[in-house]
Chains A and B, each alone.
Chain A
């Protein structure tokens, strides 16, 4: 057993001495974001500036410097991202209603008609999904989701049935249920913790992957309009 394996009962003095500077950094970052929001006049820049306020929050949580703080950062980050996702869509919807014009969902400066997207989508998707399954967990889900995204976006050339949305959403929902079963198993039958762990880890893999796939379906619908 090496010395590194000794987990101290107290937080190490380095972290304690860094706590006050870290908190002050967080407060200053938060203040910069808040002042900017108080000064600006544009709704879109207010939305982007709230991200800076969110970073201030992450610094305040990280200042505690324990494993628990590291685990608590993830919910904070996800809440921030989720709210940006929903609110930006509302802002778009409001602006479209106000001006009576529609806009592209993903405004790209270049056309998506690249040769790679017609010749190799299946190959790319399989590589990405296999690598994602190997990584597993949240990052694996993101990688595999990228694979599905590429596949769905490029498949529009050959035409995907219109009810792909419902299908992918359904699979995502089933993965969600598997995931919750995994969590419940931890508490109800702790002796099956390994099964619960695998349900939780691969549930989140499938869930994240198919969420990215859903974004791809929306994007494809958008492109096929032209």
Chain B
């Protein structure tokens, strides 16, 4: 049943112009950053270079791609529940013999497949340099994994926000607010003692940073997966509570 929802979301997504506009705009922005990184790197003397080219690419290109997916996920997610509540088409699913868990996972899967090209774009851009520059492919793979996991979290937040309201615009704003909170919460550590790093741990960008450096840590994997699961469970509960 999961695949039924995933396929439906992928098909419905690609017949609308939205994903195509997002991918082309994303590629234009990423290509601009890619060229800037190359130009800045090649203009420096070998002695003046503080980071390798791969590191420059992962921190700038992949870091910016994460911002793009953060902005994109709620926009693509808004039609998954919000629009269906508004149009009344969710009644079709609610009256069918399906579990809400399958609906949520199916829609997340569909959403991830819709955004996947955006997660792969930075790596594809970087791979253009193979043969002309020395690249650390493992670091690129780790950065791609980090970007994918961060996007998974954004998609889960987008889905949860979408399940909260029948107004798609409001769903996008709610998702942005939640992600903004998770982005800046790391700065709250300055308000507390230096040893207490809970706020820092809650911030997604702190975890993505390690992936971009090429380090895959269990704690970072656990952060993304646990938070994704948390928002998916909230979405499922929200759908169940709509029946009350």
* A and B part of one assembly: no
Which residues of A does B touch, CB under 8 Å? none
Which residues of B does A touch, CB under 8 Å? none
